[in-house]
Amino acid sequence: MTPDDTTRTDLPTIRDRIGKAALLAGRKPEEVGLIAVSKTRDAAAILPLLEAGHRMFGENRVQETAAKWPDLRATYPDVQLHLIGQLQSNKADEAVALFDVIHVVDRASLVTALARAMEKTGRRPDCFVQVNIGDEEQKGGCAVADLPALVDAARDAGLPVIGLMCLPPADIEPAPYFALLAKLARDHDLPALSMGMSDDYETAVTIGATHVRIGSALFGPRMETLA
């Protein structure tokens, strides 16, 4: 079986598993968006999903997205692009121009840069505030204790904040971290939760994920970053 064939096969399987997990939690399957994490994947790897009707994709880097997605979007203009990798404030203008949803708002300086970019471009991508849910130094995201102030700052700046995002610690049961993120979202009256990846998306869905970010389960092992 070729990589393209594998992608075609795995997409309906993953959608089915998401649907079953949603129903198990008393939710509707259509409440969960599947973000196909296409970072480091070239157009040949992405096209099978586009041809199968999938339209929601996640990328990590502004430069890579700008290099490969304009041509794809010319053919598939209804694609929705999600920024799921860390964003430098000096890339805010490009990010706002390229992406429809930004999952990585994690500090006040980025809030300011995004607000300026939105005012300048007239585009207003939905935003998630990223929480460092496991308090890990090597990961992005604001500290849990700093979340109220950051959410308030983002709202005051006019960012369309719709939810919270997290990356739980690796090799630890993720459910408690997902549950904490869900509680924090409720506390801040935020309806959306970006959580769950290839190894734990079903758990995330049962706890309330509205967006799951799936890469290797769709595309296979991670490839080297595109130049």
Burial label, 42 (beta-carbon count in 10 A; 0-12, 13-18, 19+): exposed
pLDDT digits (tens, 9 = 90+) for 56-107: 999 999 999 999 999 999 999 999 999 999 999 999 999 999 999 999 999 9
Q: For residue 226, tell me if it sits in a domain.
A: no
Structural domains of the chain, count: 1
Band of residue 158 on the pLDDT scale cut at 50, 70, 90: very high
Element (H, E) at 50: helix 43-51
pLDDT at 137: 86
Q: Which domain holds residue 21?
A: 3-216
Scanning 53-174, the segments in alpha helix (DSSP H) are 62-75, 92-98, 108-121, 147-156
Q: For residue 172, tell me if it sits in a domain.
A: yes
Q: For residue 221, tell me if it sits in a domain.
A: no
Q: For residue 130, tell me if it sits in a domain.
A: yes
Is 1 in a helix, a strand, or coil? coil
Q: For residue 187, tell me if it sits in a domain.
A: yes
Looking up residue 113, the CATH number of its domain turns out to be: 3.20.20.10
- State the average pLDDT over residues 196-223: 92
Q: For residue 225, tell me if it sits in a domain.
A: no
- State the average pLDDT over residues 31-51: 95
pLDDT digits (tens, 9 = 90+) for 19-34: 999 999 999 999 999 9
Interatomic CA distance for residues 220 and 93, integer angstroms:
32
In this structure, how many other beta carbons lie within 10 angstroms of the beta carbon of residue 188? 17
Q: For residue 173, tell me if it sits in a domain.
A: yes
Interatomic CA distance for residues 93 and 14, integer angstroms:
34
pLDDT at 138: 85
Q: For residue 222, tell me if it sits in a domain.
A: no
Query: Is the model's pLDDT at 5 over the cut of 70?
Result: no
